[in-house]
């Protein structure tokens, strides 16, 4: 399949038109507008074969996840997603692979009213780069640096399911359906993020593991965080493994793609009703304190220290 046919195939399966799209795929650049009095929010993320995903992952899952991880960053900002650009590098142009990839990408794009307005396709090692553009009202973007002493810390969804699925898959063991979904088809918390604009003092999405991601919030807010391990939201498959192993997966495994946010204690009721309205579970896991760093408290009162602190590129051996 030639490059132009690739783009046509994508455009057949992914929405390319929508609000604010003046000129979409097919020219040298897209023309976009209609921001009202909102501000533009931009995020980008690349997934490389062998680093971010295994070679045998389904193209539907790759299409979904490559967009989902980007939308998750917009969710963490409280933004509404609008447009996406896709840079696709492929070793060979297999039309069946491309159609399945576009179906995964397109279904999530449709669900969140995102239009694909441009990008590039080329030959090379498999790499999927996505850029998303969204909007947020002035002064309402959620940031990492706004946490205050005494704020409660919350996470959405469960922790550790995706990390467990990846570990089991790498070991060639059977992966529970719910865990495989968490790894392959993460759902970005866009509605929750927008609802948190008026409630949260700080927010980040959970991509690298709670310790690493909450560590950014604490450091950028100039404060410390206390996490109570017995509060970590835990699925049945995680509950079935040894405690130390479970805490390591839940705190450092990464790829959860829920939101971690902070809010003043008097916001709890509003946050609970927001989560209920969005059909999302949020769990209060700790509190922001004076100082620096993160303390994880075991139910027996002792402080728990992980063997590793979360994914960092250029540091650890590859999966």
Query: Which one, 160 or 188, has the nearer CB to Mg ion?
Result: 188
Angle between helices 95-111 and 3-13 (to 10 degrees): 40
* H or E element, residue 79: none
Of 85, 105, 102, nearest to 94 by C-alpha is 102
Q: Which residues pair with 104 in a beta bridge?
A: none
Query: Which one, 21 or 108, has the nearer CB to Mg ion?
Result: 108
Quote the least distance from Cβ 105 to Mg ion, whole Å.
19
Of 232, 209, 212, nearest to 157 by C-alpha is 232
DSSP label at 52?
T
In the 3-class helix/strand/coil scheme, how is 195-244 assigned residue by residue?
A: HHCCCCCEEEECCCCHHHHHHHHHHHHCCEEEEEHHHCCCCHHHHCCCHH
Query: Which one, 121 or 207, has the nearer CB to Mg ion?
Result: 207
Spatial distance between the Cα atoms of 296 and 252, rounded to a whole number of angstroms: 12
Q: What is the total count of residues that contact Mg ion (CB under 5 A)?
A: 3
| Residue 256 makes contact with Mg ion by CB under 5 A | no
Quote the least distance from Cβ 72 to Mg ion, whole Å.
6
Quote the least distance from Cβ 186 to Mg ion, whole Å.
12
| Residue 184 makes contact with Mg ion by CB under 5 A | no
Of 271, 296, 299, nearest to 284 by C-alpha is 271
Quote the least distance from Cβ 210 to Mg ion, whole Å.
13
Quote the least distance from Cβ 143 to Mg ion, whole Å.
12
CB 301 within 8 A of CB 292: no
Quote the least distance from Cβ 73 to Mg ion, whole Å.
4
Site for Mg ion in 202-221 (CB under 5 A): 205, 207
Quote the least distance from Cβ 85 to Mg ion, whole Å.
18
Spatial distance between the Cα atoms of 317 and 176, rounded to a whole number of angstroms: 26
Query: Which one, 45 or 151, has the nearer CB to Mg ion?
Result: 45
Spatial distance between the Cα atoms of 135 and 36, rounded to a whole number of angstroms: 9
Site for Mg ion in 186-205 (CB under 5 A): 205
Query: Which one, 110 or 219, has the nearer CB to Mg ion?
Result: 219
Spatial distance between the Cα atoms of 281 and 157, rounded to a whole number of angstroms: 5
Cβ atoms < 10 Å from Cβ of 184:
22
Quote the least distance from Cβ 76 to Mg ion, whole Å.
5
Query: Which one, 98 or 154, has the nearer CB to Mg ion?
Result: 154
Spatial distance between the Cα atoms of 237 and 318, rounded to a whole number of angstroms: 25
Spatial distance between the Cα atoms of 38 and 70, rounded to a whole number of angstroms: 20
Question: Quick check: helix, strand or coil at residue 50?
Answer: coil
Stretch that binds Mg ion, among 22-30, 69-77, 144-152, 264-272 (CB under 5 A): 69-77
Quote the least distance from Cβ 278 to Mg ion, whole Å.
19
Stretch that binds Mg ion, among 71-79, 183-191, 223-231, 272-280 (CB under 5 A): 71-79
- List Cβ<8 Å contacts ≥24 apart for 174-179: 176/237, 178/235, 178/237, 179/235, 179/237
| Residue 73 makes contact with Mg ion by CB under 5 A | yes
Query: Which one, 73 or 184, has the nearer CB to Mg ion?
Result: 73
Query: Which one, 161 or 205, has the nearer CB to Mg ion?
Result: 205
Query: Which one, 6 or 71, has the nearer CB to Mg ion?
Result: 71
Stretch that binds Mg ion, among 29-37, 49-57, 68-76, 87-95 (CB under 5 A): 68-76
Q: Which residues bind Mg ion (CB under 5 A)?
A: 73, 205, 207
């Amino acid at each position: 399949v030639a490059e132009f046919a690739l783009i046509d195939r994508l455009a057949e399966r992914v929405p390319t038109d929508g609000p604010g799209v003046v000129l979409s795929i097919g020219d040298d650049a897209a023309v976009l507008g209609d921001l009202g009095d909102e501000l533009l929010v931009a995020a980008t993320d690349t997934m490389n074969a062998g680093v971010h995903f295994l070679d045998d992952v389904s193209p539907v899952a790759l299409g979904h996840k490559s967009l989902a991880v980007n939308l998750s960053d917009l969710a963490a900002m409280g933004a509404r997603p609008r447009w996406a650009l896709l840079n696709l590098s492929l070793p060979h142009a297999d039309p069946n692979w491309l159609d399945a990839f576009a179906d995964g990408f397109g279904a999530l794009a449709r669900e969140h009213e995102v239009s694909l307005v441009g990008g590039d396709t080329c030959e090379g090692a498999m790499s999927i780069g996505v850029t998303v553009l969204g909007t947020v009202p002035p002064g309402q973007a959620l940031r990492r640096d706004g946490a205050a002493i005494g704020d409660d810390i919350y996470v959405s969804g469960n922790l550790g399911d995706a990390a467990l699925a990846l570990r089991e898959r790498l070991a060639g063991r059977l992966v529970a359906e719910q865990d495989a979904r968490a790894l392959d088809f993460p759902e970005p918390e866009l509605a929750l993020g927008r609802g948190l604009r008026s409630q949260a003092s700080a927010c980040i999405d959970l991509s690298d593991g709670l310790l690493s991601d909450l560590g950014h919030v604490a450091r950028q807010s100039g404060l410390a965080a206390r996490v109570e391990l017995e509060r970590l939201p835990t699925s049945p498959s995680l509950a079935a493994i040894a405690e130390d192993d479970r805490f390591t997966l839940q705190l450092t495994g990464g790829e959860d793609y829920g939101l971690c946010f902070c809010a003043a204690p008097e916001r709890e009721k509003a946050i609970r009703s927001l989560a209920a309205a969005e059909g999302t579970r949020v769990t209060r896991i700790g509190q922001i304190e004076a100082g620096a760093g993160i303390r994880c408290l075991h139910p027996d009162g002792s402080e728990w220290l992980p063997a590793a602190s979360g994914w960092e590129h250029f540091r650890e051996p590859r999966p």
